[in-house]
Structure formats: structure tokens, C-alpha cells
Amino acid sequence: MPELVFFSGTMDCGKSTLALQIEHNRSARGLAGIIFTRDDRAGEGKLSSRLGLVTDAVEVEDGQDLYAHVVGHLSQGGRADYVIADEAQFLAPEQIDQLARVVDDLDIDVYAFGITTDFRSKLFPGSQRLVELADRVEVLQVEALCWCGARATHNARTIGGVMVVEGAQVVVGDVTQSSDEVGYEVLCRRHHRRRMTAASARAAALSPDVLPIGTA
Ligand SMILES: Nc1ncnc2c1ncn2[C@@H]1O[C@H](COP(=O)(O)OP(=O)(O)O)[C@@H](O)[C@H]1O
Ligand SMILES: Cc1cn([C@H]2C[C@H](O)[C@@H](COP(=O)(O)O)O2)c(=O)[nH]c1=O
């Protein structure tokens, strides 16, 4: 039976890499897929992984009907044995419904990849709809780690290493920004709740308040 599968995890846990591997394995066996993405860091119409691999993709626009896109592709003689949707957290809930319809009405597997929650640990609307509709939600095996070594489960937004909790839900960025830019850092829940990033933990460790005294 065709499935709608949601591969989810924090930023930087290998979602896009897995999407590219699924695409590679299927196309190596002569299958043809449609790849959707939205706001990938590599630019418009790209699906990219931090391992350096990149492939062309259909850039999803506001209000675009993804079911109609697949039907249009098929009716022009194109093939679609599977559909991949990366950065699926940026899709509108209606577009997730359209992907579910691709599975149910066209018998095509859909593999969606995305982060579940934003920097405030609130669900993205697209991810919420995926959790509601997916046949399976798969958490990636290669876990990203918090600076403390625990499994990272949350995404923090930072400016100069300091975690912020106000701002627009969508700001495209990476986990390796220079210190004065908006960036992201994956954290365990405990340190996300305490707003403790790697930089603020380092600063706290160096603070005179926590240095041993009278040891000379
Ligand atoms: N230099 C590197 N050497 C080995 N693995 C790396 C390197 N850089 C990134 N990675 C791997 O790539 C993962 C990020 O992959 P990516 O597909 O871009 O993540 P996501 O799409 O989930 O944000 C990292 O968690 C790490 O496992
Ligand atoms: C937490 C969070 C992330 N984003 C953006 C930042 C990146 O451009 C993508 C995630 O990409 P990845 O391949 O999973 O690393 O999402 C955002 O816009 N808002 C957020 O709260």
C-alpha cells in the first residue's frame, strides 16, 4: 500500500541527506520521482544536504496545488513513482492534504521531511498536519546532540549565541552562522527550557560566580 511518511527530527539530523538517498536508490532502479521543496538554504528549486549533495527540485509556491501538479505531470506523459517533499514544515496544511490525496487517489508513495517544531517549540502548521495525516512518522536514527551530550530534541534560534524567543516563525538559516547573525542551535529540552546555548553555557562556566575560590 502506498504511504504518506513523515521523516522528522531537529535541524541538522540528516533529513535532507536521507531524502537524497531515497531519491538516489529509486532513480538508480529506473524509478522516477517528483521532488518538492521550499526555502532550501541552497536557493530556489534546490534540495541540499550539509554533506554537499544537492539536486534540482520543484520550488513550492504559496497556494500551489501539489495534487494538481502531480496530475498535470502525469497527464503530460511524465512518470511519478514517488514524491519527495523536503522542508515540509514550510508547506501549508492544505498542501499536506494534497500530498495525502496523491497517496490515496494516485497510489503514489509520498516521503515528507521536516522539522516538527519551531524555535519556540511550537508546531509548524505543515508539520502539525503531517502528524495528523501521515501513515507513519519516522524519527531519524542519527540523532543530533545538544552541547551537553544529550539527544537534541529542540531547535533554538540564536543571535550572537544568545537564544531568542520572539520573532517570525520562518527565518531561513543554518546551525553554523557567524556569531552576530541569526542562527540556530539544537538543544535538549532541559537546555531549551533554560535557554542555555553552547555559548551561554561556556560564559556561565567562566563566570567568577562559578569559579572555585581560594584554591591558590
Ligand atoms: N563534515 C561532515 N562529516 C560527516 N558528516 C557530516 C558533516 N557535516 C554534516 N554531516 C552530517 O550531516 C548531517 C546533517 O545533514 P542534513 O541532511 O543537512 O540535515 P537536515 O536536513 O536534517 O538539517 C549532520 O547531522 C551530520 O550527521
Ligand atoms: C527552528 C526553525 C527553523 N527554521 C528554518 C531554518 C532552516 O532554514 C530550516 C530548517 O532546515 P534544516 O534542513 O532542517 O536544517 O527551517 C525556521 O524558519 N524557523 C524556525 O523556528
Q: Are residues 170 and 137 in the same domain?
A: no
5 near 111, Cβ under 8 Å?
Answer: yes
Q: Are residues 63 and 114 in the same domain?
A: yes
Task: Confirm whether 127 is domain-assigned.
Answer: yes
Q: Are residues 15 and 101 in the same domain?
A: yes
Asked which of 142, 164, 182 is the last residue of a domain, the reply is: 142
Element containing residue 133 per DSSP (H, E): helix 125-133
Active-site residue list: 87
Range of the domain at 201: 144-205
Cell triple for 21: 538517498
Task: Confirm whether 136 is domain-assigned.
Answer: yes
Q: Are residues 84 and 182 in the same domain?
A: no
Nearest to 188 by CA among 157, 162, 152: 152
18 near 53, Cβ under 8 Å?
Answer: no
Task: Confirm whether 216 is domain-assigned.
Answer: no
Q: For the segment 122-166, what is each residue's pLDDT rounded down to a tens digit?
A: 999 999 999 999 999 999 988 899 999 999 999 999 998 899 999
Predicted local distance difference test score (pLDDT) of residue 214? 53
Cell triple for 108: 503514489
Substitution candidate for ligand 1 out of 7, 11, 12, 39 with most atoms within 8 A of CB: 12
Tell me if 13 is assigned to a ligand binding site: yes
Mean pLDDT over 92-103 rounds to 98
Q: Is 88 left (phi over 0), alpha (psi -120 to 50) or beta?
A: alpha
When divided into structural domains, the chain yields a total of 2
- pLDDT class for 216, splitting at 50, 70, 90? very low
pTM confidence score: 0.94
Check which CATH number belongs to the domain holding 171 and give it: 3.30.60
